[in-house]
């Protein structure tokens, strides 16, 4: 067959003079359709091309889901309404797979159905179409219904065309010669639809995994889950705001989804960090009850000593009171926002108080581990505990790298695992520099720090007002840690504002 072989007829969108439909034209259509990335637009092109082939007034793509055919794309030229708007506002009920509807029969039997006039057809029930005609003042005449099957022969939808027209706009039967061409278009639609469904299934699986992971973090530590959700909300607002600016950095719907995915997953490594460290509300954490028990026993032993040896009563009372004073100082320091040098020196002195234990021996009020914890100058974590928390970034990257992130999601592991890196190379865990950190990593870092400073549900600190949080972020900018331009954009966007 030569490239100019005529395999059908077509007409322009206005119903003009028909032209030959060649193999070259079919090849060009296939190339155009394969290049279309927007699935809805692809379906619209296929419907329009099929309508052009047959020079008809209306077309519909049904998608098969379980036991119903659902309207996906609907277009009637004579209505004078754009195809996208018609499809969006169709609001038509799904068609059940049964013998009452011609499109359902085409799907059930995998059969092309060509009907010259639906009002004269005795084989199929067109009462529904006739009722619709009465409502819309439309006249459904001829109909061509083509099942869409994929490469495995599975029916995944139906292409239905209505009212073939002659050169004068009169309704005529569909020429059987068109069926081959329309079937080819239907096959293209089926392959595209199948690929879209498979891609959607993979995406849905990935999102389900993310939801499970966030729920797992939520079950362990509620404030971490709130932190992630807040960050996603800020990022989503920022990306939408970015569309309204003249910034060269823009997100497509796909790249936005990948970026938000990296935020959902950025703290997944915290699943491995011990909860007593991750949620440590004060300096001592679980050590507080140990020290309190030691204090109670020591004071009780001093009371026993005073009863057994009255001559030592005064000395025992003084020792008991000193231990109680030390405990009060320890309790106050445990939740203090900041410990100055003099307070730390005082705690070190109290730590050396020797306390009687239940075995009759003596031990210092605070051992090395307890003293290290209570003398943390700011925050609640010792150096070792802070290293444990910081290791979550390593675990995040390690866990995500074991997953097969491809295509638009290929950078998710890197973005997620670099949210504690700084432009000056002083971040962690890999000490990356500005040349190695893309905008996504930089923005994620800014949002992460902002929410950590302003979060209202942290057990170890009160929330910081936005103006003070931005002051700290600006100091980080001045130190070369974060991107100043992105910080200005984030502040200007208002994405950080609380919902009212």
CATH number of the domain where residue 481 is located: 1.10.3210.10
pLDDT at 218: 74
Backbone angles phi, psi at 345, to 5 degrees: -65, -40
Structural domain contains residue 12: yes
Helix %, strand %, coil % of the chain (to 5): 55, 15, 30
pLDDT at 26: 67
* Residue 243 · residue 250 · CB < 8 Å: yes
Residue 249 sits in the same domain as residue 326 = no
Q: What is the pLDDT of residues 300-337, one digit of tens each?
A: 999 999 999 999 999 999 999 999 999 999 999 999 99
Residue 57, Cβ density class (10 Å: 0-12 exposed, 13-18 middle, ≥19 buried): buried
For the packed helices 39-54 and 178-220, what is the interaxial angle rounded to 10 degrees? 170
Residue 340 sits in the same domain as residue 243 = no
DSSP 8-state secondary structure symbol assigned to residue 152: T
Tracing tokens 């915290």 back to the chain, one arrives at 270
Residue 244 sits in the same domain as residue 355 = no
- Domain end call among 379, 412, 429: 379
Cα separation, 61 vs 161, in Å, equals: 9
Lookup: tokens for 247: 């910034």
Give the helix/strand (H/E) hosting 36: none
Cα separation, 286 vs 284, in Å, equals: 6
pLDDT band at 5 (very low <50, low <70, confident <90, very high): very low
Which tops the pLDDT comparison, 473 or 84?
473
Structural domain contains residue 61: yes
For the packed helices 341-351 and 313-334, what is the interaxial angle rounded to 10 degrees? 140
Q: In this model, does residue 36 exceed pLDDT 80? A: no
* Residue 171 · residue 147 · CB < 8 Å: no
Percent of the chain with pLDDT over 70: 92
pLDDT at 4: 42
pLDDT at 279: 82
The predicted model gives 456-482 an average pLDDT of 90
The predicted model gives 489-499 an average pLDDT of 93
Distance of CA 38 to the CA centre of its chain: 20
The predicted model gives 407-429 an average pLDDT of 94
Mean pLDDT lowest among 12-26, 242-256, 327-341: 12-26
Cα separation, 117 vs 130, in Å, equals: 12
Mean pLDDT lowest among 34-43, 98-107, 335-344, 459-468: 34-43
pLDDT at 459: 67
Structural domain contains residue 498: no
Lookup: tokens for 498: 């609380």
Q: In this model, does residue 274 exceed pLDDT 80? A: yes
pLDDT at 223: 62
Residue 310 sits in the same domain as residue 262 = no
pLDDT at 214: 80
Cβ of 432: how many Cβ atoms within 10 Å?
18
* Residue 331 · residue 406 · CB < 8 Å: no
Contacts for 216 with CB less than 8 Å, ≥ 6 apart:
271
Mean pLDDT lowest among 82-86, 195-199, 231-235, 383-387: 195-199
pLDDT at 222: 62
Cα separation, 298 vs 285, in Å, equals: 21
Q: In this model, does residue 428 exceed pLDDT 80? A: yes
Residue (of 103, 115, 113, 110) closest to 68 by Cα position: 103
Contacts for 470 with CB less than 8 Å, ≥ 6 apart:
450, 487, 491
pLDDT at 20: 47
Q: In this model, does residue 152 exceed pLDDT 90? A: no
Structural domain contains residue 203: no
| Mean pLDDT, rounded, of the chain | 87
Cα separation, 343 vs 377, in Å, equals: 10
pLDDT band at 460 (very low <50, low <70, confident <90, very high): low
pLDDT band at 344 (very low <50, low <70, confident <90, very high): very high
Tracing tokens 């943390």 back to the chain, one arrives at 376
Structural domain contains residue 208: no
pLDDT band at 10 (very low <50, low <70, confident <90, very high): very low
Q: What is the pLDDT of residues 350-385, one digit of tens each?
A: 999 999 998 889 999 999 999 999 999 998 999 999
Cα separation, 381 vs 224, in Å, equals: 17
pLDDT at 13: 43
For the chain, give the longest Cα–Cα distance.
125
Cβ of 303: how many Cβ atoms within 10 Å?
13
Residue 303 sits in the same domain as residue 255 = no
Q: In this model, does residue 9 exceed pLDDT 50? A: no
Mean pLDDT lowest among 96-100, 123-127, 391-395: 123-127
Structural domain contains residue 206: no
Residue 484 sits in the same domain as residue 455 = yes
Cα separation, 76 vs 336, in Å, equals: 72
Lookup: tokens for 59: 């077309």
* Number of domains composing the chain: 3
Distance of CA 99 to the CA centre of its chain: 42
Residue 115 sits in the same domain as residue 243 = no
Lookup: tokens for 491: 């502040």
DSSP 8-state secondary structure symbol assigned to residue 154: -
Residue 76 sits in the same domain as residue 92 = yes
pLDDT at 170: 95
pLDDT at 81: 85
Q: In this model, does residue 7 exceed pLDDT 60? A: no
pLDDT at 16: 37
- Domain end call among 362, 379, 396: 379
> Residue 413: which domain range?
221-276+386-493
Cα separation, 495 vs 200, in Å, equals: 29
Residue 419 sits in the same domain as residue 352 = no
Distances (CA, A) of 132 to 9, 79, 135, 139, 241: 30, 14, 5, 9, 43
SS3 assignment, position 167: coil
Whole-angstrom distance between the N-terminal and C-terminal Cα of the chain? Answer: 68
Residue 26 sits in the same domain as residue 77 = yes
Structural domain contains residue 161: yes
Residue (of 180, 192, 157, 169) closest to 60 by Cα position: 157
Contacts for 154 with CB less than 8 Å, ≥ 6 apart:
none
Q: In this model, does residue 500 exceed pLDDT 70? A: no
Cα separation, 443 vs 235, in Å, equals: 8
Residue 423 sits in the same domain as residue 472 = yes
- Cis peptide bond N-terminal to 429, omega within 30: yes
pLDDT at 330: 97
* Residue 472 · residue 256 · CB < 8 Å: no
Lookup: tokens for 279: 């949620």
The predicted model gives 20-43 an average pLDDT of 70
CATH number for the domain that contains residue 143: 3.30.450.40
Structural domain contains residue 211: no
pLDDT at 209: 83
pLDDT at 23: 66
Cα separation, 480 vs 473, in Å, equals: 11
Lookup: tokens for 448: 């992460």
Residue 63 sits in the same domain as residue 164 = yes
Cα separation, 74 vs 47, in Å, equals: 8
* pTM greater than 0.75 (yes/no): no
Q: Which range is most confident: 31-45, 76-90, 391-405? A: 391-405
Q: What is the pLDDT of residues 67-77, one digit of tens each?
A: 899 988 889 99
Lookup: tokens for 244: 């309204």
- Domain end call among 131, 165, 198: 198
pLDDT at 92: 78
Percent of the chain with pLDDT over 90: 54
Distances (CA, A) of 286 to 281, 282, 291, 293, 296: 10, 9, 9, 12, 16
Mean pLDDT lowest among 397-406, 417-426, 437-446, 483-492: 397-406
């Amino acid at each position: 067959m030569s490239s100019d072989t005529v395999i059908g007829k077509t007409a322009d969108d206005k119903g003009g003079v028909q032209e030959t439909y060649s193999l070259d034209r079919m090849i060009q259509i296939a190339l155009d359709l394969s290049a279309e990335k927007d699935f809805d637009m692809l379906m619209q092109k296929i419907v329009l091309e099929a309508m052009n082939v047959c020079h008809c007034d209306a077309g519909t793509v049904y998608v098969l889901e379980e036991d119903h055919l659902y309207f996906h794309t609907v277009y009637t030229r004579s209505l004078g309404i754009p195809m996208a708007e018609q499809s969006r506002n169709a609001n038509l009920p799904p068609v059940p797979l049964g013998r009452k509807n011609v499109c359902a029969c085409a799907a059930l039997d995998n059969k092309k159905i060509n009907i010259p006039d639906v009002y004269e057809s005795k084989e199929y029930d067109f009462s529904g179409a006739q009722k619709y005609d009465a409502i819309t003042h439309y006249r459904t005449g001829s109909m061509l219904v083509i099942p869409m099957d994929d490469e495995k022969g599975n029916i995944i939808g139906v292409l239905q065309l209505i009212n073939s027209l002659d050169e004068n706009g009169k309704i005529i039967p569909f020429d059987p010669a068109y069926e081959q061409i329309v079937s080819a278009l239907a096959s293209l639609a089926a392959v595209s639809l199948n690929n879209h469904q498979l891609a959607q299934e993979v995406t849905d699986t990935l999102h389900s995994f993310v939801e499970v992971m966030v729920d797992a973090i939520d079950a362990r530590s509620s404030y971490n889950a709130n932190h992630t959700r807040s960050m996603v909300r800020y990022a989503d607002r920022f990306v939408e705001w970015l569309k309204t600016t003249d910034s060269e950095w823009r997100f497509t719907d796909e790249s936005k989804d990948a970026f938000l995915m990296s935020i959902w997953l950025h703290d997944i490594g915290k699943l491995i960090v011990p909860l007593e460290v991750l949620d440590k509300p004060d300096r001592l954490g679980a050590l507080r009850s140990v020290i309190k028990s030691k204090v109670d026993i020591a004071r009780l032993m001093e009371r026993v000593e005073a009863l057994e040896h009255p001559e030592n009563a005064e000395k025992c009372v003084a020792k008991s009171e000193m231990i109680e004073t030390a405990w009060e100082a320890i309790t106050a320091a445990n939740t203090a926002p900041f410990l100055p040098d003099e307070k730390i020196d005082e705690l070190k002195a109290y730590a050396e108080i020797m306390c009687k234990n239940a075995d009759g021996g003596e031990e210092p009020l605070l051992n090395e581990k307890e003293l290290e914890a209570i003398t943390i100058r700011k925050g609640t974590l010792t150096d070792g505990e802070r290293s444990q928390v910081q290791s979550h970034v390593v675990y995040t990257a390690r866990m995500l790298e074991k997953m097969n992130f491809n295509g638009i999601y290929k950078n998710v592991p890197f973005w997620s695992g670099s949210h504690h890196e700084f432009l000056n190379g002083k971040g962690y865990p890999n000490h990356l520099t500005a040349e190695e950190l893309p905008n996504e990593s930089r923005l994620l870092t800014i949002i992460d720090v902002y929410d950590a400073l302003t979060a209202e549900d942290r057990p170890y600190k009160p929330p910081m007002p936005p103006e003070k949080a931005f002051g700290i972020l600006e100091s980080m900018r001045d130190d070369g840690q974060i991107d100043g331009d992105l910080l200005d954009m984030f502040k200007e966007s208002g994405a950080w504002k609380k919902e009212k």
